[in-house]
């Protein structure tokens, strides 16, 4: 297998997901200089009222934001899965919950990308933390937060989400890619609380 991978690297040398520079090995998705810029641990950031605490790996303005955009707008499943691992490793020892729940995107965006980035992030987090993965939320409508001003973002209501007919855990970790105003996390958390979830925490790759 290693010989086969080395042969592929010669035919199509791997490039760094962040800076696109050529890499000598394909065992990582980032070159060493870019990988060194990724924080090792998540830190607490401001959180919306319906969430008890929120963790982020760092600011959206840096390398993390570049990787998020790679996943969302270049439809890079590799970037989404790598960020899920990064976020999961950054949360080790920081949060104790029953399950990890993704904050779903709208159906048109999921159809366009071929995947839901928050879903991939949540799977990576659940794997790293050895927690149950529970996609109990679904998104109603087609409106998205990107492009809206702060007032428009804050107007997102809990009814933008629905909870699938299954037993909800007592405590969960909501996972999304970016926290801007916190309105999306707040709306999702409020809807979950209506369905009996007692404690809700959140984690994002990056914050604005």
What number is the average pLDDT over the span 71-91? Answer: 95
Question: Which residues contact residue 6 at a Cβ distance below 8 angstroms, ignoring those fewer than 6 apart?
Answer: none
pTM for the predicted model, two decimal places = 0.87
Tell me whether strands 171-179 and 99-102 are parallel, antiparallel or unpaired. parallel
Distance, in Å, from the CA atom of 36 to the CA atom of 125, rounded to the nearest integer, reads 20
pLDDT band at 154 (very low <50, low <70, confident <90, very high): low
Contact 103, 137 (CB under 8 A): yes
Reported as a pLDDT band with limits 50, 70 and 90, residue 140 is: confident
Per the document, the length of the chain is 208
User: Which of 128, 113, 46 has the alpha carbon at shortest distance from 83?
Assistant: 128
| 40-67: pLDDT as tens digits | 999 999 999 999 999 999 999 999 999 9
| 27 pLDDT more than 80 | no
How is the chain split among helix, strand and coil, in percent rounded to 5? 40, 20, 45
Task: State residue 8's pLDDT score.
Answer: 41
Distance CA 6, CA 23 (A): 12
CB-based contact 158:194 (threshold 8 Å): yes
The DSSP-derived string for 115-167 is S-HHHHHHHHHHHHHT-EE---EEE-SS--STT--HHHHHT--GGGEEE-SSP
Q: Flag the least confident range among 95-109, 112-126, 143-157.
A: 143-157
pLDDT at 6 > cutoff 70: no
| Least confident range of 23-32, 65-74, 94-103, 172-181 | 23-32
Whether the predicted pLDDT of 149 surpasses 60: no
């Amino acid at each position: 297998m290693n010989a086969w991978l080395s042969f592929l690297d010669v035919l199509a040398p791997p490039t760094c997901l962040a800076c696109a520079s050529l890499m000598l090995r394909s065992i990582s998705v980032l070159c060493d200089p870019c990988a060194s810029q990724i924080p090792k641990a998540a830190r607490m950031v401001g959180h919306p009222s319906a969430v008890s605490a929120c963790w982020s790996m760092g600011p959206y303005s840096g390398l993390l934001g570049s990787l998020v955009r790679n996943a969302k707008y270049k439809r890079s499943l590799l970037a989404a899965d790598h960020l899920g691992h990064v976020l999961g490793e950054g949360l080790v020892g920081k949060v104790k919950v029953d399950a990890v729940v993704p904050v779903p995107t709208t159906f048109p965006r999921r159809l366009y990308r071929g995947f839901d980035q928050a879903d991939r992030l949540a799977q990576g987090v659940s794997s790293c933390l050895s927690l149950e993965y529970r996609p109990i939320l679904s998104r109603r409508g087609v409106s998205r937060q990107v492009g809206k001003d702060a007032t428009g973002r804050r107007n997102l209501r809990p009814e933008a989400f629905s909870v699938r007919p299954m037993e909800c855990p007592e405590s969960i970790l909501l996972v999304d890619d970016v926290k801007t105003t916190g309105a999306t996390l707040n709306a999702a958390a409020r809807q979950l609380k209506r369905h009996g979830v007692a404690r809700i925490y959140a984690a994002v790759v990056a914050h604005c």
